[in-house]
Amino acid sequence: MPEIILRDRVVADPWQVLRPEAGAAPELPAGPVLVPLATWLDQADALVGRGDAGVWIASHEDPATLRAWLDRLPLVAVDFPKFTDGRGYSIGHLLRTRYGYRGELRAIGDVLPDQLDYLRRVGFDAYAVRADKDIRDALRLLTTFSEPYQNSWEPPLPAFRRVARGQVTELPR
């Protein structure tokens, strides 16, 4: 079974990501499945009943369309088609801070170890690290910067509201 990082551990992952061909009617497999946003919006009532269906959002899609379902979704994933496509960070951040999603938020697609710290900070807590990368080595990059400047999902306060700034002994040059 493939592995992902869930919070701060590597775990086996049973979820299949359904990526139907364009135009093709998606066949829903048995077992935990992540369906595309369009499929979810189409069949949400049935899928919610399944209990083991989640949704993945493409980077150009609007997470606001999921608002009505967020408290009943066990898993929301955001797809990174390329690791340089940064839209997913804003999507994740909005899901957490604006739309109140509290379930598992997973990054899928082109997810590389050097993104994990940023992903974690905007609100992701699960990372389907690309299969060719060493997922255990990636764990140590989850927290690259221990005391960041800005507020995001994590930490919720900026450094200037969080820690006493200006603690240096030497005088200004």
Which of 3, 17, 85, 139 binds another protein (CB under 8 A)? It is 85
The distance of closest approach from Cβ of residue 33 to another protein in the complex, given in angstroms and rounded to an integer, is 27
Which of 48, 87, 103, 142 binds another protein (CB under 8 A)? It is 87
Query: Which is closer to another protein, CB of 50 or CB of 83?
Result: 83
The distance of closest approach from Cβ of residue 13 to another protein in the complex, given in angstroms and rounded to an integer, is 22
The distance of closest approach from Cβ of residue 68 to another protein in the complex, given in angstroms and rounded to an integer, is 19
* Calpha distance 57→14 (Å, rounded): 19
Element (H, E) at 139: helix 135-139
Give yes or no for residue 147 binding another protein (CB under 8 A): yes
Residues making up the chain, counted from first to last: 173
Query: Which is closer to another protein, CB of 2 or CB of 158?
Result: 158
3-class DSSP state of 67: helix
Is the distance from CB of 62 to CB of 44 less than 8 angstroms?
Answer: no
Of 74, 56, 76, 158, the residue nearest 124 (C-alpha) = 76
